[in-house]
Amino acid sequence: MRRLLIDLASRAVARAVIFRADRVLLLRRASDQRIAPDAWQCPAGKQEPGEPIEETLVREVREETGLVVRASVPLGTTSTAVETDGVPTTWTQFDFLAETSGAEVVLSDEHRDFRWVALTELERFAELSPQVRTAICRGVAARDAQIQSSQP
């Protein structure tokens, strides 16, 4: 029975690192959100049962921003143990470099602001979690590797 409880208390989240030129997309959560109100973050969301994590990424980015993306490079995972409604829960975050067309961002009710932030300006976002910063750094490295491999 304990194994079943552990499995039920594990959740997967897909997070997208999206660039437009040398800027990364950050969303600011709405003040009324139960988890991380007012926090700046990359687009992310929970996996539905039976859903492949890449599909979670595409769905969540579309729901939160209106952007259509493709998960292009896996950037790694991080796990965090927290208590959710009194239940110990492990959240595993799957980070991806995501590519999008030039469409405009249209925010859902979960967020109240967005910015395309220059990498040199990230230090002004002190509330970015270490996990988000790590995902962005991995995204920069993956994007730069893609650019270099496409050059003759």
- What confidence score (pLDDT) does residue 81 get? 84
In the DSSP assignment, the letter for residue 102 is S
pTM of structure: 0.88
- What confidence score (pLDDT) does residue 6 get? 40
Q: How far apart are the first and last CA of the chain?
A: 57
- What confidence score (pLDDT) does residue 7 get? 47
Per-residue pLDDT of the chain (152 residues; tens, 9 = 90+): 333 334 456 789 999 999 998 899 999 998 888 778 888 999 999 999 999 999 999 999 999 999 999 999 999 999 888 777 788 888 899 999 999 987 799 999 999 999 999 999 999 998 898 999 999 999 999 999 988 887 77
Cα-based distances in Å from 53 to 21, 82, 99? 26, 21, 16
Q: Give the whole-angstrom CA distance, residue 117 versus residue 92.
A: 25
- What confidence score (pLDDT) does residue 9 get? 67
- What confidence score (pLDDT) does residue 15 get? 96
- What confidence score (pLDDT) does residue 2 get? 37
- What confidence score (pLDDT) does residue 1 get? 33
